[in-house]
Amino acid sequence: MSTFPGHLDVKAIRADFPALARIVRNGNPLVYLDSGATSQKPVQVLDAERSFYELHNSAAHRGTHLLGEEATDVYEGARAKVAAFIGADVGEVVFTKNATEAINLVAYAMSNATVTAGSERFRILPGDEILITEMEHHANLVPWQQLCERIGVTSDGRLDLDHLDSMITGRTKLVALTHQSNVTGTIPPVTEIARAAHEKGALVLADAAQSVPHQPVDVAALGVDFLAFSGHKMLGPYGIGVLFGRADLLEAMPPFLTGGSMIEVVRMEGSTFLPPPQRFEPGVPAVAEAAGLAAAVDYLSGLGMSNVAAHEESLTAHALDVLREINGVRILGPDTTKDRGGAVAFDVEGVHPHDVGQVLDELGVAVRTGHHCAWPLHRALGVQASTRATFYVYNTHAEVDALADGIRYAQRFFGARQ
Ligand SMILES: Cc1ncc(COP(=O)(O)O)c(C=O)c1O
């Protein structure tokens, strides 16, 4: 079995990520299998942020001086790159702090539309429904919770869509669902669900925090109205995320946060607001972070998102194979790579996930343990918590093998069934 599966030059990629060269606990090399929480950052992203601060640092959309112009160009250039990356128009990309804020932006705009005149499309009235799924990350669950009906999950961790037609009703305002589960890796049929929702007049928001970093995503092909993701999970910096919104919807949507840089005219009697995307970006924007995100988009585009997806599919297939061979390990979610991304959560019989994680950490293998901000999904799958490995462009088959060896070691250490 080759250490570097064929689709990407992983050896060259790894050289771009200084953190991957670290020796961690007990003299072990770092095996980083937690990119689902946050990815490592290549030097190209670090350089882009540093160069912005060194040369162009200034408030975008404010100064009339040269540096102000340059900062605006960097910021708007990043927006154009992100738009092209997901097949959107440039005015449809709103920068936010992260995916969580992007989703809250829509939820709060809907709640604001309820109390302001002129935004009928977004107004929530008694009896209206927001439909979410049991598979959601808390970021796409808690904001909608007050008004939701839930789509359940099958025992193999896929969405239970048998009664989709009756779940989406004439009162459903919005269907909010994940485009790739951060626990089971499941990729639901978003296009099909969007079609069903639109037939009933409902809007669709996809949480793409785990899909945009890992597979080609085209918002038009998906047919969604809103799509949210974070920069830090796709090789980019913290503090910047994206809300894609269909142009006509953003145009009709009231603001979420208000203040400077998003207003048209301010009088003591009241204010009017700029068109999107500026309407949704109050305050001095995160330009260095946008520069870093643009560099991350360049990096991923250079690799080719189809190659990224193929590489991760190869790692996931290998992980499913090796985990399946370990007695006492139950994979949560689909156990083939069909409609499935590279988040592999599992339960080790007789060993608490935190203990699994701690033993793996002693061996240099970094995974996530707990409920991964998806408590209802864990309940549906019959566990309180799990251990999760997530893969990215820099991971190798040998690292998947290190995970399997570590799990066996943990089983021996805790005297669990093997
Ligand atoms: C599926 C999913 N949605 C949303 C989020 C929230 O992302 P952030 O914390 O960057 O806002 C995450 C983060 O783990 C996620 O995995």
> In the prediction, which pLDDT does 334 show?
93
Question: Does the N-terminal peptide bond of residue 126 adopt cis geometry, omega within 30 degrees of 0?
Answer: no
Q: How far is the CA of 136 from the centre of ligand 1 (A)?
A: 10
Taking the C-alpha atoms of residue 1 and residue 318, their distance in angstroms, rounded to an integer, is 10
Pick from 373, 375, 386, 392 the residue to mutate for probing ligand 1's pocket: most ligand atoms within 8 Å of its CB.
Answer: 373
Pick from 34, 35, 98 the residue to mutate for probing ligand 1's pocket: most ligand atoms within 8 Å of its CB.
Answer: 98
Neighbours of 254 (CB within 10 A): 21
Question: In 3-state terms, what secondary structure has residue 345?
Answer: strand
Examine the residue annotation and report whether 373 is marked as an active-site residue of this protein: yes
> In the prediction, which pLDDT does 112 show?
84
Q: How far is the CA of 54 from the centre of ligand 1 (A)?
A: 31
> In the prediction, which pLDDT does 117 show?
65
Taking the C-alpha atoms of residue 58 and residue 18, their distance in angstroms, rounded to an integer, is 28
Residue with tokens 């920068």: 95
Taking the C-alpha atoms of residue 261 and residue 206, their distance in angstroms, rounded to an integer, is 27
Please pick, among 329, 373, 377, 416, the residue that the annotation labels catalytic. 373
Taking the C-alpha atoms of residue 51 and residue 54, their distance in angstroms, rounded to an integer, is 5
CB 364 within 8 Å of CB 25: yes
Distances (CA, A) of 72 to 63, 129, 135, 286: 9, 40, 39, 11
Question: In 3-state terms, what secondary structure has residue 177?
Answer: strand
The ligand 1 atom nearest the CA atom of 97: 11
Pick from 182, 186, 190, 388 the residue to mutate for probing ligand 1's pocket: most ligand atoms within 8 Å of its CB.
Answer: 182
Which tens digit of pLDDT belongs to each residue from 320-349?
999 999 999 999 999 999 999 999 999 999
List of the chain residues with pLDDT < 50: 1-2, 147
Which tens digit of pLDDT belongs to each residue from 258-270?
999 999 999 999 8
What single DSSP character describes residue 128?
Answer: -
Q: How far is the CA of 312 from the centre of ligand 1 (A)?
A: 19
349: which strand partners? none
Q: Which two tokens stand for residue 103?
A: 């989703």
Instruction: Give the predicted TM-score (pTM) of the model.
Output: 0.93
The ligand 1 atom nearest the CA atom of 178: 1
Could you tell me which of 190, 227, 237, 233 has the C-alpha nearest to residue 213?
233
- Residue nearest ligand 1's atom 15 by CA: 209
CB 71 within 8 Å of CB 311: no
